[in-house]
Amino acid sequence: MSTEYTKDGERLQDVKNGKKQPWREKKMRSVLLSDSFGRLKQFGKAERVKNCSMELEFNQCVETGKLKLVMACFCRERLCPMCQWRKSRKIFFEVSQVMDEAERQRPDIVPLFLTLTVKNCKGEALADTLGKMFRGWKNFINHRKINSISVGWFRALEITYNRKTDEYHPHFHVMFYVEKSYFKGGKYMSTADFVRIWGISCKLDYDPICDVRKVKNAKDKKMNAAEVAKYTLKDSEYITQDEKLTDKLIGILGPAMKGRRLYDYGGLLKIIAKQLGKEEPEEGDLIHVDGEIREDVATILIKFRWGFGVADYVRR
């Protein structure tokens, strides 16, 4: 672990697989989110987000210098960049475990990667559009043709924002398991079939864009698992240099997402997730999100605290 110093002390340098972890960047954006909540007079949220991950405690491996987070207080606000980042890592690790176990138990199944979209919408229509999509998902997964081929699935919502058109693009990413015989049997469905059923399920008066891909190998599976586990919202899209725009976006996105089940399991994957104690992707621990350091290696405890003056984590 390389070390950087300020006049106040050693700065946090958490590097994994050669990549510096974005603790500072996420905390800085969380501070900006807190400021926005304050301007929107949502003072409770502003205070919780401001205090999110103020102190971090790590076990540091004596031999390698690698860090593993062991203590922190996260606010769990859905729009918090810090919590979104930790949740994304947690979900990627857990979904990968569930998929590996599903394929171990059922070597006769393979995943498809689905992307199900609707037309872009303006901010005032986002909540209604999401409602239509979530109702549509229930209809889609219970449709007789989809139900006949589905072995299990994991579904995630993503929303992107187009600043040029001032429109939102909500869509679902799905890891969707079928039996290997699906590709040669009479139940095989073309992309046009998925488009038709998704359109009917959402009661759309147009043909939506859908993408259906077979996951070909382990590398492909890892990439697609990362896609379903990534942030529902990219914080750089709704926390901007323009305070008025930031407040507008947060004022729209927060209420539209309230009460939504952003991630969910079904079928065999739901059963296995329950067996592994991972059936609620959005709940649980945001500290131990992966297996970074073995429990039997020698470690020392080190602590860092956010310094507003230096805008960084400094060792205590």
Q: What is the pLDDT of residue 2?
A: 43
Asked if residue 218 and residue 151 are part of one domain, the reply reads: yes
Q: In angstroms, rounded to a whole number, what is the distance separating the alpha carbons of residues 270 and 265?
A: 5
Q: In angstroms, rounded to a whole number, what is the distance separating the alpha carbons of residues 113 and 221?
A: 9
DSSP 248-272: HHHHHHHHHHTT---EEEEHHHHHH
Q: What is the pLDDT along the chain (316 residues), one digit of tens a residue?
A: 444 434 446 899 898 878 899 999 999 999 999 999 999 999 999 999 999 999 999 998 888 888 889 999 999 999 999 999 999 989 988 999 999 999 999 999 999 999 999 999 999 999 999 999 999 999 999 999 999 999 999 999 999 999 999 999 999 999 999 999 999 988 999 999 999 999 999 999 999 999 999 888 777 777 878 788 777 899 999 999 999 999 999 999 999 999 999 999 999 999 999 999 988 888 888 988 875 544 555 778 999 999 998 999 999 8
Query: Within a 13 Å sphere around the CA of 133, how many CA atoms are in the beta-carbon half?
Result: 29
Q: Which two tokens stand for residue 281?
A: 């992707």
| Rg, C-alpha atoms of the chain | 21
Q: In angstroms, rounded to a whole number, what is the distance separating the alpha carbons of residues 250 and 312?
A: 24
CB contact set of 294 (below 8 Å; sequence gap of 6+): none
Asked if residue 130 and residue 272 are part of one domain, the reply reads: yes
Residue 231, domain extent: 87-238+258-285
Asked if residue 307 and residue 192 are part of one domain, the reply reads: no
Question: Is residue 163 assigned to a domain?
Answer: yes
- Hey, CA dihedral for 61, 67, 68, 72, is it positive or negative? positive
Asked if residue 215 and residue 135 are part of one domain, the reply reads: yes
How many domains are contained in the chain? 2
Question: Is residue 249 assigned to a domain?
Answer: no
Asked if residue 197 and residue 105 are part of one domain, the reply reads: yes
Asked if residue 197 and residue 267 are part of one domain, the reply reads: yes
Question: Is residue 245 assigned to a domain?
Answer: no
The pTM is what?
Answer: 0.90
- 312, amino acid identity: D
Question: Is residue 2 assigned to a domain?
Answer: yes
- 221, amino acid identity: K
Q: In angstroms, rounded to a whole number, what is the distance separating the alpha carbons of residues 260 and 140?
A: 17
Q: Which two tokens stand for residue 290?
A: 């992966």
Q: What is the pLDDT of residue 9?
A: 63
Asked if residue 107 and residue 72 are part of one domain, the reply reads: no
Q: What is the pLDDT of residue 101?
A: 94
